Amino acid sequence: MNFPSTLIQKRSPSSNVMGDKGQRYSVDDALAAVGFGKFQILVLGYAGMGWVSEAMEMMLLSFVGPALESAWNLSSHEESMITSVVFAGMLVGAYSWGVVSDKHGRRKGFLITATVTCVAGFLSALAPNYICLIILRCLVGVGLGGGPVLSSWFLEFIPAPSRGTWMVVFSAFWTIGTIFEASIAWFVMPTLGWRWLLAISSLPSSLLLIFYRVVPESPRYLCLKGRTTEALRILEKVAKINGQTLPPGILVSDHEIQLNEKSAEAEDAHLLSHNDGTIDRSLKQNVSTMALLFSPELIKPTLLLWVVFFGNAFSYYGLVLLTTELHNGRNSCVPTHLQPQHQELSYKDIFITSFAEFPGLIISAFTIDKLGRKLSMSIMFFLCCIFLLPLVSHQPQAVTTALLFMARICITTTFTVVYIYAPEASLLTWKFPRIYPTAVRTTGVGVGSSVGRIGGMTCPLVAVGLIHGCHQTAAIILFEFVIFASGVCVLLFPFETSGRELTDSAVPEKANMIIAT
């Protein structure tokens, strides 16, 4: 999804607010003028509910699998498929809903995704057999694949200077969702069972549908489509609720600004014309965008990003599943003297482990600028390896809980930072003006995120399959290898983005990281 440029050549102020056609402002100028206020808090609450809903639908997989294994006598492979099909659906949905939102608007995009997620999630609770459940959970994944549409809608209301901060704040809603799901499972699963957990977990998506009528369309999208009058109406409402005023002049689309713009920085113009011109010529020669990612100039950053995206998703979702598998009292592979007294899933320990995401977010917020993106990620990847290493052999339940808690802190930090680093790295100068030129930027970050989803699809085979086969040592060693390789690849990233200036025209595209997740 491409966002328009906001690089504007300012003209002298005029006392005629709307009559001076020489004075113009863009959506970014308007948002900067009205600031972050009550309106954005309401938008954050609505979008955050969508993020909570997605986190709950993903977290419940770690509870439903073990329950169905017992209730329906499933094999470890069949249990793994309940999780894998969700990621497969997300892989399809991420592309499909992105196209829908670009063509028909953000509101229609997340209306459809919320409907699919809510309906398929609720029907999953009524599934009569394994095949029906697999189909319905795959449809839930298709709906969840559109979650980033809601995220991008939120970011398109945020003033550009605040986007980095609010990306971290927005990430906290995912953590809230995981903890909320763990607490619900703790009370629902032992008494009411997995069907009630699925039904209750589908409710947050329904809240998106209930409040849909009062949700405004993204003014950035409207301007992109040339519907500046509608965009102005929404921006005036934002200004009124925030108690601010819009800039003097006329709201114009970024396309109009670009047509009349003369860049003040000749160096930037030269770099952009050299690089983007080369890419454009390549595209005219029918070279596919995907092929450009493997060109000699781009293949190194492409492969490095792919490994880190894969490693993050594989490790994060793997740790979530490991938490349930290693705290399962029915695990016959655990030595007798290490078996917990109760023979059921330890919801208390899973609930405690879920809280590790809060320290992870706090650490990422404090270290991302002080230590830099690369150092923050690499340190946490290597620390995660250290905390997982003792689990190559069976440990007492309290020790296992503590080690998984610390590992979850580390991987939450890397997960947060990489989704800030990736889009920033696409906007800076390194051989090319940025790691990915304009023509392939969205594809580069988006495909990397898709590779991460493949990591999510494969991790159940390790976290569930190997553990069930009494191969805990092999499972942990594989996790160690993936996490360590990810840490090494971070060190090989071509540059650090912390403290470096982003090109003005690229600032709005920071939202691409959420769109791609």
Q: What is the CATH number of the domain that holds 385?
A: 1.20.1250.20
Cβ burial of 457 (10 Å; 0-12, 13-18, 19+) is: buried
Query: In this model, does residue 487 exceed pLDDT 60?
Result: yes
3-state secondary structure 491-504: HCCCCCCCCCCCCH
- For the residues of 25-69, what is the DSSP string, one character each? E-HHHHHHHH-S-HHHHHHHHHHHHHHHHHHHHHHTHHHHHHHHH
Per-residue pLDDT band at 11 (split at 50, 70, 90)? very low
Q: Are residues 249 and 306 in the same domain?
A: no
Residue 338 is assigned to a structural domain of this protein: no
Secondary element (H or E) of residue 24: strand 24-25
Residue 139 is assigned to a structural domain of this protein: yes
For Cα atoms 324, 330, 334, give the angle at the middle one, nearest 5 degrees: 85
Mean pLDDT for the stretch of residues 127-139: 93
Least confident of 134-143, 230-239, 342-351, 504-513: 504-513
Mean pLDDT for the stretch of residues 144-159: 79
Check residue 501 and give its pLDDT: 44
Check residue 384 and give its pLDDT: 93
Question: Per-residue pLDDT tens for 360-414?
Answer: 888 887 887 778 788 889 999 999 999 999 988 888 888 888 899 999 999 988 8
CA separation for the pair 52, 46 (Å, rounded): 10
**Which one of 56-70, 113-127, 446-460 scores highest in mean pLDDT?**
113-127
Query: In this model, does residue 196 exceed pLDDT 80?
Result: yes
Query: In this model, does residue 468 exceed pLDDT 60?
Result: yes
* Eight-class DSSP state of 211: T
Check residue 268 and give its pLDDT: 42
Query: In this model, does residue 478 exceed pLDDT 80?
Result: yes
CA separation for the pair 407, 356 (Å, rounded): 8
- For the residues of 246-265, what is the DSSP string, one character each? PPSSEE--HHHHHHH---S-
Query: In this model, does residue 49 exceed pLDDT 80?
Result: yes
Question: Per-residue pLDDT tens for 498-510?
Answer: 555 444 343 333 3
Q: Are residues 388 and 476 in the same domain?
A: yes
Query: In this model, does residue 329 exceed pLDDT 50?
Result: yes
More confident residue, 432 or 35: 35
Q: How many helices (H) and strands (E) does the chain have?
A: 24, 2
Check residue 423 and give its pLDDT: 62
Q: Are residues 359 and 239 in the same domain?
A: no
Q: Are residues 222 and 91 in the same domain?
A: yes
Q: Are residues 206 and 313 in the same domain?
A: no
**pTM of the complete model:** 0.73
Distance of CA 108 to the CA centre of its chain: 20
Q: Are residues 108 and 30 in the same domain?
A: yes
More confident residue, 251 or 64: 64
Residue 285 is assigned to a structural domain of this protein: no
Query: In this model, does residue 53 exceed pLDDT 60?
Result: yes
Q: Are residues 438 and 381 in the same domain?
A: yes
Check residue 513 and give its pLDDT: 35
Q: How many distinct structural domains can be found in the chain?
A: 2
Token duo for residue 31:
């948002």
Question: Per-residue pLDDT tens for 225-268?
Answer: 778 888 888 888 888 898 888 888 787 765 555 555 444 444 44
Check residue 30 and give its pLDDT: 83
Residue 335 is assigned to a structural domain of this protein: no
Mean pLDDT for the stretch of residues 176-198: 90
Per-residue pLDDT band at 477 (split at 50, 70, 90)? very high
Q: What percent of the chain has pLDDT over 90?
A: 14
Residue where one domain finishes, among candidates 254, 281, 300: 254
Distances (CA, A) of 506 to 16, 357, 502: 31, 30, 7
Other beta carbons within 10 angstroms of residue 429's beta carbon come to 15
Q: Which long-range contacts (CB under 8 A, 24 or more apart) does 73-80 make?
A: 74/130, 76/464, 76/465, 76/468, 76/469, 77/461, 77/465, 78/130, 79/460, 79/464, 79/468, 80/460, 80/461, 80/464, 80/465
Q: Are residues 244 and 384 in the same domain?
A: no
Check residue 445 and give its pLDDT: 65
Check residue 410 and give its pLDDT: 92
Q: Are residues 250 and 299 in the same domain?
A: no
Check residue 272 and give its pLDDT: 40
Which residue reads 């920085």 in tokens?
265
Q: Work out the mean pLDDT of the chain and round it to a whole number.
A: 75
Q: Are residues 487 and 364 in the same domain?
A: yes
Question: Per-residue pLDDT tens for 80-96?
Answer: 888 888 888 888 887 67
Residue 270 is assigned to a structural domain of this protein: no
Domain range for 85 is 23-254
More confident residue, 121 or 151: 121
Question: Per-residue pLDDT tens for 33-47?
Answer: 888 888 889 989 998
